[in-house]
Structure 1
Amino acid sequence: MTDKFKQIKGVSLADQAREVIRSAVLNGSIKPGEKITIEDVAMQLGISRTPVREALKALEGDGMVRLLPHRGAIVEPFALDEVRIRYVVAGMLEGYAAELACKRQGSELAEKLEANCRELARLCKKKKVTAAQVRELVATNRAFHDLIREGSGSQTLVRLLDTLRQPSSYSQNYWSNPESRQISLEIHQAITEAFRAEDPILARKLVEKHLSEARERLITARRES
């Protein structure tokens, strides 16, 4: 697991270890079913094993890893039912975040969302994409949703939604499909227009619709993979 973990300044050692492990899982550096050893993490972060052990216990509570006695942990693959539940809850929370963000920032946030849509449109032009381009698509999509979540002004919503994130590996089949890419681009553009029109109710409904449809397409893609 060379270079998968980098230090974060200004937080406790256990929280630092928890966040870097979590980020490595979410960005696909560590994949479902892969083992995480306490010694590797401790060595790369330059800390003792105790805070790493505490971090893994916390991540087990989040359902992200399963502890292995005296051996570290293994990244838990989410069952499709779990993926569905996480998307349902995320849809409700992010829909509310969109309503709040639209009320707070409206057309101002629309400018940032529009810039993201332009980048997504550029990436969506190719029918066939490389693995690196898929990762870029996943990151651009995530940035769009982060703008809405953070625009809500509620750190509670941001934290709750953060715990519901799926590892990027779960989204790669979805974003490899040109039809899925086009559908997501179009709904992102519609959401952006709702923000530009400063219509918080429409923004909420569109985000909820988007995550509901994305959920079913992602689950279908996982089943077919």
Structure 2
Amino acid sequence: MNDVPLPVAPQVVTLRSALEETLRAAILGGRFQPGERLPERELCALTGASRASVREALRGLEGEGLVTIRPHRGPSVTAIRPDEARELYGVRGVLQGYAARLCATLQPEPSLRAIEGATEALETAAAAGDTRAVVAAGDSFYAAIAEGSGSGVLRQLLLSVHNRLFLLRSLAMARPARVQAGIAAYRAIRDAIVAGEARLAEELCLRHSEDGAALALQLLRDAEEARDAGLDPRRRAAS
């Protein structure tokens, strides 16, 4: 008899992916703040996984830039420095602009409908003052554009950058002025894509990202001042 064991690699990959997603959601959901340490015991309790599995998942998130692992200090949520924020927003603008240009050229009907739906969801969330829903609608808006670009590589790159900028974008969307400016920008980008004006759509995305970078740098300065004064940076951002 040939008692050959069945392959187990696919199960391992599935387990790691699920564990990474759980930890990623905890970080992006605000359970852990930038710079905060990630105790293995707490993560094991959160996920029900072993320390070895948690460590493996953390290494995956380190590759995404969400987690920083330092010798003798352990893992922590990556805190974005001003220079990193500037670079990330610059990269995001280029990627989003390219995606918008491709989407405006191809104009796939499902993506156009998704872009319109995301714009409406953004307006509804803004009217309700729901910051999380505003951020989610913005993510859906750009996800629809990325999908409409027809490039899987572009979608993956954008998702990685979006994740790393999640907290800064959430803080920005706590400011009503930024939300209104964002709605106007999204409408303009939507109209350019629907009209097939590829170059304009790209330029508008770049401009919107540049505006986001300027606000992000201000938020980082405000957060630093708030920490020095012993305040909660999130409360300072909403003021």
Shift of 1:87: 0.8
Q: What residue in structure 2 maps to residue 155 of structure 1?
A: 152
Between the two proteins, the alignment pairs up a number of residues equal to 212
SS at match of 2:134: helix
Quick one: structure 1 residues 62 and 118, their matched pair in 2 at CA, closer, same or farther if it must change by over 3 Å?
closer
Q: Counterparts in 2 of 1:2-151, with a 5 A limit?
A: 11-67=13-69, 72-106=74-108, 108-125=110-127, 129=129, 133-151=130-148
Q: Who is 2:233 aligned against?
A: none
C-alpha separation between the residues in 1 aligned to 2:132 and 2:190? Answer: 23
2:220 aligns to what SS in structure 1?
helix
Report the TM-score when normalising by structure 1: 0.81
Task: Give the corresponding residue for 1:4.
Answer: none
Matches of 1:39 and 1:64, distance apart in 2: 19
Q: CA deviation at 1:11?
A: 4.2
- 1:62–1:121 CA distance, 2 compared to 1 (3 A): closer
Cα distance, 1:154 vs structure 2: 1.6
The structure with the largest helix share of the pair is: 2
CA contact (8 A) 1:60 1:66 kept: yes
Q: Is the 8 A contact 2:107 2:194 kept in 1?
A: no
**Which amino acid in the other structure matches residue 104 of structure 2?**
C
Q: Give, as a single letter, the amino acid of the residue that structure 2 aligns with 1:138.
A: V
> How far did residue 180 of structure 1 move?
1.2
> Which residue identity lines up with residue 182 of structure 1 in the other structure?
Q
Tell me how far 1:55 sits from its aligned partner. Answer: 2.0
CA distance in 2, matches of 1:199, 1:169: 32
Q: 1:104 to 1:36 in 2, by over 3 A?
A: same
Residues in 2 aligned to 1:45 and 1:28: alpha-carbon distance in whole angstroms:
16
Partners of 1:207 and 1:183 in 2: how far apart?
13
Query: Tell me, which stretches of 5 or more residues in structure 1 are unaligned?
Result: 1-8
CA contact (8 A) 1:87 1:212 kept: yes
155 and 24 in structure 1: CA distance in 2 versus 1, 3 angstrom threshold: farther
Q: CA deviation at 1:101?
A: 2.1
Query: What residue identity is the alignment partner of 2:85?
Result: V
Between 176-185 and 39-48, the greater mean CA deviation after superposition: 39-48
Q: 1:176 aligns with which of 170, 174, 183?
A: 174
2:36–2:76 Cα contact (<8 Å) kept: yes
Instruction: Give me the whole-angstrom Cα distance separating, in 2, the residues matched to 1:12 and 1:112.
Output: 29
Q: Which runs of 5+ in 2 are unaligned?
A: 1-10, 224-239
1:201-212 counterparts in 2 under 5 A? 201-212=199-210
Percentage identity across paired residues of the two chains: 32
Cα distance in 1 between the residues matched to 2:99 and 2:121: 23
| Structure 1 residues 24 and 101, CA gap change in structure 2 (3 angstroms) | farther
For 1:121 and 1:201, locate their aligned partners in 2 and report how far apart those are by CA, in whole Å: 25
TM-score of the superposition, structure 2-length normalised? 0.77
User: Is the 8 Å Cα contact of residues 27 and 167 (structure 1) preserved in structure 2?
Assistant: no
Q: Distance in 1 between matches of 2:59 and 2:79?
A: 17
Which has the larger Rg? 2
Q: Is the 8 A contact 2:34 2:78 kept in 1?
A: yes
Shift of 1:156: 0.9
CA contact (8 A) 2:96 2:206 kept: yes
Higher relative contact order (CA 8 A, sep 6+): 1
Once residues 112 and 187 of structure 1 are traced to their aligned partners in structure 2, the CA distance between those partners, rounded to angstroms, is 17
Distance in 2, Cα, partners of 1:186 & 1:32: 30
